[in-house]
């Protein structure tokens, strides 16, 4: 569908600050997700981007982080505050 409608794909992930089975650090995880997006671009001929967000509690922050990833500045302009240190919305 992405290729047919020329719609870009945004791969979004929220990961813990702790080592996990996929990667030892959030930076390593982000690199792997970016590589995945690049592979999809090449194999499928689509536009794709990857964004990784870090949280000490990904399950708790999932909804607000996904909203931030999708809406970006529009979400912020509605009065929601984000912590630059944690990269997740505050107060949610």
CA atoms within 13 A on the CB side of 67: 16
Report field, pTM of the whole predicted structure over 0.75: no
In a 10 Å sphere around its CB, with 0-12 CB exposed, 13-18 middle and 19+ buried, how is residue 42 labelled? Answer: exposed
pLDDT for the residue numbered 24 = 94
Each residue's pLDDT tens digit, 5-56? 999 999 999 999 999 999 999 999 999 999 999 999 999 999 999 999 998 8
Distance CA(15)–CA(46), nearest Å, equals 25
Give the pLDDT score at 71. 82
Per-residue pLDDT of 74-92, as tens digits, reads: 544 455 454 444 444 444 4
What is the per-residue pLDDT across 49-70, written as a single tens digit (0 to 9) for each? 999 999 889 999 999 888 888 8
């Amino acid at each position: 569908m992405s290729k047919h409608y020329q719609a870009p794909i945004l791969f979004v992930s929220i990961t813990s600050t702790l080592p996990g089975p996929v990667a030892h650090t959030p930076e390593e995880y982000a690199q792997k997700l970016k590589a995945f997006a690049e592979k999809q671009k090449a194999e499928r001929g689509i536009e794709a981007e990857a964004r990784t967000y870090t949280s000490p509690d990904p399950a708790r922050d999932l909804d607000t982080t996904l909203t931030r990833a999708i809406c970006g500045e529009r979400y912020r302009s509605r009065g929601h505050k984000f912590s630059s240190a944690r990269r997740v919305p505050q107060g949610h």
